[in-house]
Structure 1
Amino acid sequence: MRGLLSCGLAAALAAVAPQARAQDATRSRQTAIVTAAARLAPAVVSVNVLRRERRVAADPFDLFFMPRGYEQTVEGYGSGFIVSPDGLVITNQHVTQGAEQIVVTARDGRDFPAKILGEDPLTDIAVLKIDGGSLPVAPLGKSTDLQIGEWVVAVGNPFAYLLGNTEPTVTAGVVSAVGRNLLPSEGQSGVYVGMIQTDAAINPGNSGGPLANALGEVVGVNSNILTPSGGSVGVGFAIPIERAVRVADELRRFGTVRRAWVGLDVAGAEDLRGWKRVGGLRVTQVAENGPAARAGIVVGDVLLVAKGRRLRTFLDWEAVLLDTGPGDSLTVSYQHAGQPRTARLTVTDLPTTLAEKVAILGGMKVVTVTDAVRAERGIQSDHGALIYDIPDEMEQATGLRSGDVVLQINRTKIAGAEDLRRAFSTAAGGGAVTVWFERGGRLGRTAFYVR
């Protein structure tokens, strides 16, 4: 009898063992990456855009059938993620730019017409609204405590529907660096500073999708890649989630983004490549009765740290301002006459404080930067418009000087004098413009109104 029981028990254990091993194997495959992807994927969407673009006929044969310049409906695509149950979606502004129609597709294949609540080209963030009832929401994390080398996942819809269905694609990598600054370039959608760098594969169509930590919490918005081929080579960049959320909230509440202003201008110690020298930023202008002046900062002081960020180049200061809003308090460490000091600045709204800082551009004289002009003036940039005469009152209003080479206005690359005039004409009456320029071989930025 005892033998029969032993045989029965052995048979039962033998039957259970494969099942237990299978369960153990399944559990061993449940890595942090798997868990993160499962937690985040339901809130990731595809953003499908129709826009009209003006094209130029490339084939001479086409000129017989259509005007040299013609409009064409173009389909674009990107990714996004839902941040509220009632259907707020964060994506990139370069995905939604010029859209006549937007359809957001959820993971389960449902399509939702979307409207744009707001767009901000400077930070490359857009907010969409869809109506879909109680929708899954992406969990949000922090980018401020990211560690170099920690695992992250990029989730999105690369190449749109070419992969066959609406299930988002997940790629894994590590945080390669934080605080990365990208210099302005042709076709660049925004000012990409203070970025998260990752080697997780980011491809066309991933723009606007989330970068998440191993807990499945969104730490950034995938926005940009460096590539010689158009596809991922392991150098991708994401906008920090804190910046994206702040901008999205401004767009949701006001339809625009209020810019931080502290009443000072700085001269970067970097050359146009942006990395050669460190040691702070010299204060070149201080607005009378502005936040910096009230805090005791004067021309000649050297800013070293702001908001906990070391100021190695001008672009570091740009990142601080993008991550700061009106009403915030900004702590700055600086040197005054060689002595260390600390100041707390109360940030105000750029449009409000610059209401009188308006430029009438009729008196500015510019010339296209040619090879001859470049050689004569020692200009480093390969394009731009050289200011060779500017009235004193315009210089004070704009922060530009005779000898400056204007490189970019808002998102528009300035190839020459005509581009500059056209860009200012387009911007007239539309709010503050951001101007990037070369001065003495260094990169600078200013902002002012055009009327």
Structure 2
Amino acid sequence: MKSCIRTTALLLLAACSGGAPESSAQIARIGPPASGPAVAASRRTAITDAVARVAPSVVTVQTEQVQRVAADPFESVFGGRSGTQTAAGLGTGFIVRADGVIVTNAHVVAGATSVSVMLRDGTTYPAKVIGTDETNDLAVLKVEAIRLPIAPLGDSDALLVGEWAIAIGNPYGFMLGNAEPSVTAGVISGVGRNLVARGDGPSAYFDMIQTDASINPGNSGGPLVSAEGLVVGVNSSIYSTNGGSIGLGFAIPINRARRVADDLVQHGRVRRPWIGVRLDEARGGNLREQIARGARVASVTPGSPAESAGIRPGDQLIRTRARAIRNRFDWDAALLDLRVGDAVPLVVKRGERELSVEVRIADLPEVTARKVQVLRELELVTLTPSIRAERGIVSTRGALVYRASERIATEIGLQPGDVIYYINRTPIASAEDASRALDYYAGRGAIQLAYEHQGQAYQTVFMIR
């Protein structure tokens, strides 16, 4: 395994984090249409009526991120040190609850040190990030306000390919001169799309709505609206060869976004569904081969829901509920609609036979594992066979990083999913081992830590003062 060494000094301080506020209110589904100035009836269309209904709830999301910059080489000769600079970002969101709950994309607020939102009339509020879900590229913000206009939400499962689609957002932000959202129109070009090639946002999206309504930089997080004036998706990504729209835009279905937003508002996190199977993968990441080989089970995690249901390596996943599974991307899309605790019917093909089994959806193994907090900025769990199989980890023993503060990630390099297996040549077999070792070596000089990141071995050297 390739090895990389980083060296840094770290002063660990107590970190405090507030939990998401509890709320029993659910995200609103239908809201009253907005009223506008009187115009000739001949000028009104389904599109203008839909825009009038939704546009008042669309907001501009403004972010700031403090970034470290290296010292000027000339200044460093005279003792100059590295400094910071502030980078600004823009996106779009829409209000889903009158008391200030807003939905946007996770990549819009990723890494932001401060977030604010501007309403259509120019009113600006500081915003708190209630929670993010990077897998679905969704985030929920909260502003302290009341009686805000809300976006009426529709049913993305009822979409028809070819029906009108309207994208509302703030492309290029204030370069257009004001906070009034822009509107583009097209059609629903497809549903259930799995986007695993390049795009604006995360590297893969599953079960997406495709539209040719123009989506440009700054539209991320805005609503995709039907001709009835109902939000049916969250604009999230474009496929582009030049950085701009070429008629291939993608939106997260609103039914999924509503479920995620409810979880984030009520619990501050989203529970990931897990059954404990790993599927065959094409060598070299060949997408065409991956699609052609179907959804064949490569391994089943011992003690997992899949093992309890009788699923075996070599089985082909065929169908879950009403959804056909033709390849691993369809399976990844199906997982997004499953909820922890559900008993889900699953059809598998074994040889020439099709078998029906029922699988009880569970949390990821590390979620239920005992957590060990280290110096208040790091949360570890002991690596188990289930976690190792689920994540494809090479190391056989160690402490899995479950949570790491932003400072730990930036200054030491540890990220969630990494596995610590040595500290100053002391082998680490559990989360408790790692905690004891770090406590012992704190204040005693440099600490050398060896860890696995995405299948490769790394080392980092730091000090705890």
TM-score where L is the length of structure 1: 0.71
Equivalent position of 1:174 in the other structure:
187
Is the Cα contact below 8 Å between 1:41 and 1:155 reproduced in 2?
yes
User: Contact 2:189–2:211 at 8 Å: present in 1 too?
Assistant: yes
1:308 aligns with 2:322: yes
Q: Deviations over 1:183-202 (max 9, x none)?
A: 27698436411111111111
Which residue of 2 is the match for residue 117 of structure 1? 130
Equivalent in 346, 353, 356 of residue 339 of structure 1? 353
Does the CA-based 8 Å contact 2:65-2:88 persist in structure 1? yes
User: What are structure 1's unaligned runs of at least 5 residues?
Assistant: 1-24, 362-390, 403-408, 411-418, 438-451
Q: Is the 8 A contact 2:199 2:237 kept in 1?
A: no
- SS at 1:321 equivalent: helix
1:151 Cα offset (Å): 0.9
Give the partner amino acid of 1:88.
V
1:27 aligns with 2:20: no
Deviations 1:352-392 (A, max 9, x none): 6762899879xxxxxxxxxxxxxxxxxxxxxxxxxxxxx99
Match of 1:98, as an amino acid? G
Q: Aligned runs of 1:91-106 on 2, under 5 Å?
A: 91-106=104-119
Does 2:253 correspond to 1:237? no
Which residue of the partner structure matches residue 392 of structure 2? 399
The superposition leaves residues 109-166 of structure 1 with CA deviations (integer Å, 9 ceiling, x where unpaired) of: 2111111111122221111011221111111112222222211001111111111221
Rounded to whole Å, the distance in 2 between the matches of 1:329 and 1:67 is 61
Change (3 A) 1:37 1:428: farther
- Structure 2 CA distance for aligned equivalents of residues 247 and 77 of structure 1: 22
More off after superposition, 352-361 vs 133-142: 352-361
Equivalent residues of 1:172, 1:200 under 8 A apart? yes
Residue segments in structure 2 that go unaligned for 5+ positions in a row: 1-38, 372-379, 396-400, 403-409, 421-430, 432-452, 456-465
The DSSP-based 3-state class of the residue aligned with 1:193 is: strand
Aligned to 1:114, the other structure's residue is in SS state strand
Q: Does 1:254 align with 2:292?
A: no
State whether structure 2 residue 57 is matched by structure 1 residue 43. yes
Q: Is the 1:179–1:194 Cα contact (8 Å) retained in structure 2?
A: yes
TM-score of the two chains, using structure 2 as the length reference: 0.69
One-letter code aligned to 1:179: G
Q: For 1:46-445, list aligned pairs within 5 A.
A: 46-55=60-69, 70-183=83-196, 188-189=201-202, 191-268=204-281, 272-276=285-289, 277-278=291-292, 280-351=294-365, 355=369, 396=389, 398-400=391-393, 422=413, 427=418
In 2, are the aligned partners of 1:124 and 1:190 still within 8 Å (CA)? no
Native 8 Å contact 2:196 2:203 kept in 1: no
User: For each residue in 1:196-231, what CA deviation from the matched residue of structure 2 results, as whole angstroms up to 9, or x when unmatched?
Assistant: 111111111111111111111111111111222222
Following superposition, the deviation at residue 284 of structure 1 comes to 1.9
Structure with the bigger RCO (C-alpha within 8 Å, sep 6+) is 2
Indicate the SS of the match to 2:67: strand
- Counterpart contact for 1:93–1:189, Cα < 8 Å: no
1:3 matched residue in structure 2 = none
Tell me the secondary structure at the aligned position of residue 281 of structure 1. Answer: coil
Other structure's SS at 1:51 match: strand
Helix, strand or coil for the counterpart of 1:119? Answer: strand
In structure 2, distance between residues paired with 1:178 and 1:213: 14
* Overall identity of the aligned pairs, in %: 44
Distance, in Å, in 2 between the alignment partners of 1:184 and 1:63 is 42
SS at match of 1:237: strand
Report if the CA contact (8 A) 1:198-1:237 is conserved.
yes
> Aligned partners of 2:357, 2:131: CA distance in 1, in Å?
34
CA drift at 1:322:
2.0
Q: For 2:381 and 2:363, how far apart are their aligned partners in 1? A: 19
Q: CA deviation at 1:28?
A: 3.1
Residues 36 and 217, structure 1, Cα contact 8 Å, conserved in 2: yes
Say whether the 8 Å CA contact 1:269–1:278 is kept in structure 2.
Answer: no
Distance across 1 between alignment mates of 2:211 and 2:286: 21
| CA spacing shift, 1:356–1:193, aligned 2, 3 Å | same
Aligned residues: 365
Output the CA distance in 2 between the equivalents of 1:187 and 1:93.
Answer: 12
**What SS does structure 2 have at the residue aligned with 1:317?**
helix
Closer/same/farther in 2, CA of residues 351 and 116 from structure 1, 3 Å limit: farther
Could you report, residue by residue, the CA deviation over 1:18-51 in whole angstroms, capped at 9, with x for unpaired residues?
Answer: xxxxxxx932332211111111111111111111
How far does residue 245 in structure 1 lie from its aligned partner after superposition?
1.6
Distance in 1 (CA, whole Å) between partners of 2:235 and 2:386 is 42
Residue 71 (structure 1) shift: 2.1
Please name the residue that 2:29 is paired with. Answer: none
Give the match's secondary structure for 1:292.
helix
Q: 1:53 is paired with a residue of what secondary structure?
A: strand
CA drift of 1:340 comes to 1.3
- RMSD over equivalenced CA pairs, Å: 3.6
Larger Rg: 1
Deviations 1:64-113 (A, max 9, x none): 89969642111111000111111100001111112222111111221111
